[in-house]
Structure 1
Amino acid sequence: MKATIIQIECTCSASPTQYEGILEDGRMFYFRFRWGKLSISESSNPTEEIDDAIVGTVILEDETSDQWNGALSTE
């Protein structure tokens, strides 16, 4: 199922690059890039607590570059 982002905020721009936000169905998501690893996780249920997304279901995990990279351009 495709999720639609309705709100997104950059909470850290480098080391790690982090975004968090809300999906159309009320669940939260958490995006993080550090040590060359990118991950996106989401909460199981609608919530206003970002911690539910941080420890939630990982929907994408990828090692994208060397371990020293922690900054990701918005482009």
Structure 2
Amino acid sequence: MTALARVVCTCPSVPSQWDAWTVDGQYLYLRYRFGRGTVDAYEAPGPEGWDVAPGGYVAEFRDPDDPWRGEIELEEFLRRAGLRLAPLASVVSYEEYARRRLDEEPTT
């Protein structure tokens, strides 16, 4: 089971999604939309550098009885995708992520 050292929630629902890094430094894009959870590995966050669209190439799971579902808690996503948090992992909430993004915006 792959262990994650850092997870950042970048969207809380529709889709639920996270940027994550394994203990070895591999970046993973975690996404849950339309009752489908996918995990994909890329060099870095941000789709501008991705050479293939997300498709669940690392892991995938589905909720066939709830195909419109777009929200899932991190703990459930990790369990169903075969991932886990490493001891002392950093987990950044969407609120903290949004606050940091606002702090980074230039003022005019």
- TM-score, scaled relative to structure 1: 0.73
Unaligned runs of 5+ in 2: 76-108
1:36-55 correspondence runs (5 A):
36-43=35-42, 47=43, 49-50=44-45, 51=47, 52=50, 55=53
Match of 2:17 in 1: 18
The percent identity for this pair of structures is 23
- TM-score, scaled relative to structure 2: 0.54
Larger helix percent: 2
Question: C-alpha root-mean-square deviation of aligned residues, in Å?
Answer: 2.2
Larger Rg: 2
How many residues are matched?
69
Greater relative CO (CA pairs within 8 A, separation 6+): 2
Q: How far apart, CA to CA, are the structure 2 residues paired with 1:39 and 1:3?
A: 14
Match of 2:33 in 1: 34
Offset at residue 3 of structure 1 (A): 2.6
Larger strand percent: 1
